[in-house]
Homo-oligomer: A and B are copies of this chain.
Amino acid sequence: MIANLLKHLPERLSEERFDTLVDAEHVTVERIVSRGHTSPAAGWYDQPRHEWVVVLKGRGMVAFEDGEEVTLGPGDHLGIPAHRRHRVTWTDPEEDTVWLAVHYD
């Protein structure tokens, strides 16, 4: 278990890093660390659960299949209903972006 969400970030990040903080029947909370990573170029995330996400540090962009695109910086949060297709199109390549995501049904 990571002790602090903003400290001791991984030095190298060949892929996005996911750490699970809460894993219960109806809810999962995870920390995601990105550094220039985006979703795979092909396809969309189509999730069976609702997601609520907040950026704690850094900056990222989330695009939806319907054309909406949102840029999130520290403190910005976003609710993504189940099955609303989306992808991360950009994260800051110069610094770590730390996301906190709550998945729930």
Instruction: Please report A residues at the B interface, Cβ cutoff 8 Å.
Output: 3-7, 21-22, 24-27, 29, 50, 52, 54, 56, 74-77, 79, 100, 102, 104-105
Contacts and interface: CB of A to CB of B under 8 A. Distances in A.
Given A56-B56, A75-B7, A75-B56, A26 B29 contact: no
Given A56-B56, A100-B100, A75 B26 contact: no
Q: Is the interface of A mostly helix, strand, loop or mixed?
A: strand
Given A24-B50, A27-B27, A50-B24, A5 B100 contact: no
A102 B4 contact: no
B104 A27 contact: yes
A102 B105 contact: no
